[in-house]
Amino acid sequence: MAKRVFWEQKTLAEMSSEEWESLCDGCAKCCLHKLEDEDTGDVYYTKVVCRYMDDNCRCTEYQRRNELVPNCVWLRPEDVAEFHWLPSTCAYRLVAEKKPLPDWHPLISGAPETVHQTGVSIKGRALSEEYVHPDGYEEHIIHWVE
Ligand code: SF4
Ligand code: SF4
């Protein structure tokens, strides 16, 4: 009989902090700036990314991220009802929706690079907020997040 893995056995709230952290696939899509339509609540992703994101989709200020970026994304199990704005590939959203992880997820492939090799991450496609005026984010709305 196939052994069930922790993300199939446990809810997000039941996971240890190590399990929770390992669930992130490293795509960095959640660090892209988003625009919300105030009337409909629809969320639009832009290719403008937080200034603390490096070229390999890693946060350069992970320990100080909440201090430096007040609206930095901080996912918590108790906010699972809010996860609908996350990209459909995000492992937290997939687990919350009781869907399987894809083959390219590092927990399945065993390699952190597969999220980049399959073109799921933002690697090579984002633009740092350092080069974009905040009023100009709308020009950078993208549709490849999904
Ligand atoms: S979108 Fe989800 S899986 Fe991707 S980096 Fe953000 S939290 Fe991790
Ligand atoms: S500070 Fe927050 S939003 Fe910015 S790159 Fe780090 S995790 Fe992403």
DSSP string, 46-68: EEEE-TTB-TTS-BTTTTTHHHH
Ligand in nearest proximity to the CA of 75? 1
Collect the ranges in the chain with pLDDT lower than 70: 1-2
Q: How far is the CA of 32 from the centre of ligand 2 (A)?
A: 9
Q: Flag whether 75 is in a domain.
A: yes
Beta carbons of 77 and 93 less than 8 angstroms apart: no
Q: Flag whether 80 is in a domain.
A: yes
Q: Where does ligand 2 bind, in terms of residues with CB under 6 Å?
A: 31, 50, 52-53, 59, 61, 65, 69, 72-73
Backbone angles phi, psi at 59, to 5 degrees: -75, 125
Q: Flag whether 1 is in a domain.
A: no
Query: Can you give 86-136 as a three-state secondary structure string?
Result: CCCCCHHHHHHCCCCCCCCCHHHHCCCCHHHHCCCCCCCCCEEHHHCCHHH
Q: How far is the CA of 1 from the centre of ligand 1 (A)?
A: 31
What digits encode the pLDDT tens for the residues 7-39?
Answer: 999 999 999 999 999 999 999 999 999 999 999
pLDDT of residue 1: 59
What residues make up the domain containing 113? Answer: 6-140
Q: Flag whether 86 is in a domain.
A: yes
Give how many domains the chain has, as a whole number: 1
Q: Flag whether 126 is in a domain.
A: yes
Residue nearest to atom 7 of ligand 1 (CA): 24
Q: Flag whether 145 is in a domain.
A: no
Tokens 């390699």 label which residue? 111
Rg, C-alpha atoms of the chain? 16
Q: Flag whether 79 is in a domain.
A: yes
Q: Flag whether 52 is in a domain.
A: yes
Ligand in nearest proximity to the CA of 30? 1
Q: How far is the CA of 62 from the centre of ligand 2 (A)?
A: 7
What is the C-alpha to C-alpha distance for residues 144 and 21, in angstroms, rounded to an integer?
25
pLDDT of residue 73: 85
pLDDT of residue 3: 73
pLDDT of residue 58: 96
Residue nearest to atom 8 of ligand 2 (CA): 31
Region of 17 (left: φ > 0; alpha: ψ -120 to 50; beta: rest) is: alpha
Q: What is the SS3 assignment for 33?
A: strand
Ligand in nearest proximity to the CA of 63? 2
